């Protein structure tokens, strides 16, 4: 099963990407600052997919470690990099 990590998922393009990847059959790791919005979004999207979420402020210099330690290191499946220019 393929897995993607998407940042800024509680609004805008991040939210649109999260919905699209779930519809396409991916497992999704949601990352954003607002814990309550993330929790509700994960609940909404997790009908048939494995959805995880990380409350994280990417302005914090330690965000990479938090993302890795909390989810990716223990996540089952392959994480597929996706970059948008």
Q: How far is CA 76 from the centre of its chain?
A: 14
CATH topology of domain 2-79: Rossmann fold (3.40.50)
More confident residue, 64 or 13: 13
pLDDT at 64: 59
For the chain, what are the domain ranges?
2-79
Q: Tell which residue, 55, 57, 52, 56, has the closest CA to residue 71.
A: 52
Question: pTM for the full model?
Answer: 0.75
pLDDT beyond 50 at 70? yes
pLDDT at 75: 57
Provide the pLDDT confidence category of residue 85 given band limits of 50, 70 and 90: very low
Q: What is the pLDDT of residues 17-66, one digit of tens each?
A: 999 999 998 888 898 889 999 999 999 998 767 888 888 877 776 655 55
Kind plus residue range of the DSSP H or E element containing 71: none
């Amino acid at each position: 099963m393929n897995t993607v990590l998407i940042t800024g998922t509680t609004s805008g393009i991040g939210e649109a990407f999260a919905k699209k990847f779930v519809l396409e059959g991916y497992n999704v790791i949601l990352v954003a600052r607002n814990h309550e919005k993330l929790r509700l979004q994960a609940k909404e999207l997790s009908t048939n997919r494995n959805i995880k979420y990380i409350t994280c402020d990417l302005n914090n210099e330690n965000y990479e470690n938090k993302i890795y330690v909390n989810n990716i290191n223990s996540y089952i499946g392959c994480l597929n990099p996706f970059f948008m220019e």
